[in-house]
Chain A
Amino acid sequence: MTKFNRFLSLILLFCAAPLSALAIDSQDLPDIKEGFVTIKTIDPTQRVGYTVGDVIEREVILTIKAPYTLVETSLPIKGYEKRYRGQVIGIELKNIHHKKDVHKDYTTHHIKLAYQVFTNSVVAKNAALGPEYLNLINMKNNKDLVKYRIPSLDIAISPLAIFGAVKVENNMSPMLGPLLMANTQEKQWLKIALVILAISLLGLLYILGVHTWLPRMGGPFASAYRTLRKTPNSAEGLKQAVSKLHLSFNNTAAMSVFNDNLDTFLAKKPSFSPLKYEIQQFFALSRQVYFEPNATHDIGNNPSKWLVQFARRCRDCERGLTPTPLDTKAGA
């Protein structure tokens, strides 16, 4: 060996030394002292009935207090086959997802582990997920390298089919519920159907309620009030407004209402009795607008505005309410 080769070998030895230190088998390291690590696991509720191909997920939440920190290279490696006493046990880490939240005094690690079963047996047998060993290092003392053991999760692996003459009842476990068909899609269709049914029922109620959402909401005077509010304050608008109100009276009474049968109308619809004088005023206005331009009325100079208020009071009567007090300035 030449001098140069010897020098190169030395450099390679120095470079490889730290890696070899990290590659130390975690199980050989001392355990971390209590109080520095807290663990929380979210394990699957099903512990039995797994068979070849099943994927089992568990989540580990570790909180590591300073000055210790996780050596992330010690996290389990995807595809690593678990062994027990050198024998492959048939549980393989299929996937790992790691996320950490670093705080001043501690760090929280969320580690999601997905194991897949690659073994089977003619009879049920025990198996375990883990344990996993993680390396932690003291940031203030590089030589203080310790391990933390994530406890294993015991599961049972079931055979794919019953082998031989087996009495099923003896093999049943109250821990294993019946296998159910996936019904997610059906549930979604059911929800959509229920929504459509609810909308249809609302529509039916609307139609049965004579196009009203509330009782008497779509009455003739309610409709007239809405129309009159949009009617222009002009001679033509006044004619339309009077005509609309006449129509409302006729529809309410199911007969043509005139000044000379007003008492009949009030007898049929006593809720309008408080408005008797105003109804007479309305007929006087109608007389002037439609029949006798020379006729007088005592409504005032702004009959359109008065009619809107009158329609609203009629609507109140129609709904069985006490009429809204009249704005005395309306017709002025």
Chain B
Amino acid sequence: MRSHEPLRLRIQLTKEGPARYLSHSEYSRAILFAARRSALPLGFTGEHRPRLKVSLSPPLPIGITSECELVDLQLIGYVPAAEAEVVLSRAFTAGIKVVFCRLMGADEKPVGKLIDTATYRVTLPEGYGAGRWRAAATEYIEKDRVLFERVQPRKTRTLDLRPGTHRLEVETDESAGAILNMTLDDGISGTVKPWEVVEVLASYAGVPEKDWKRAGIHRNGLFARRGEKLVSPMEAGAGRPAVTRRGGRRF
């Protein structure tokens, strides 16, 4: 390990098994503790109360699994990505596994300011047939507006889900049955929650709540949209050059 300009270590993680029941703040906490345990040369902010310099991908609702959660950590010393992957893998608990690590320049845009699109694979409940869900998806896509009432603890508001829904495709998997693939806004562009889309589709397909709530949702991709193209955040230069007006580096 030798001293080096700060680097950005981008880590792709899973959120599966018991970890799928963690809230975003709990999942973030698990990552921060694991990072500290790893003993990597991490960058901290603040003198009196040091805090890790970290950036996280958009929150994943409780119960949804993922293979593509992202976190950026600042490294103040060079560590090969493969070594970081090994060290971090030992520091995580059940359900959170390191999929991939990549070193990037500190001027790369952080994941929290980069991600705007997520893809999901939804295992739909048995007993309704792929055709019924496919028809519902077609009905959804053909609409100009799909209004949904989002109920939150402090306020309820009506949203149009349609502009943030980019793809809905239903396929049939021999082992898993009907599968819905979705591409939705998530992150800096605003968020369409996957359960909201499933609920709307279920209402079109006439699937009762007790059944559609049994759907298994899995996030399988996070991207930065560049026109029609979805760019992987693991690709160097996925974000715009991260130079501030003052010329300093972002983190």
| A, B: real partners | no
List B residues at the A interface (Cβ < 8 Å).
none
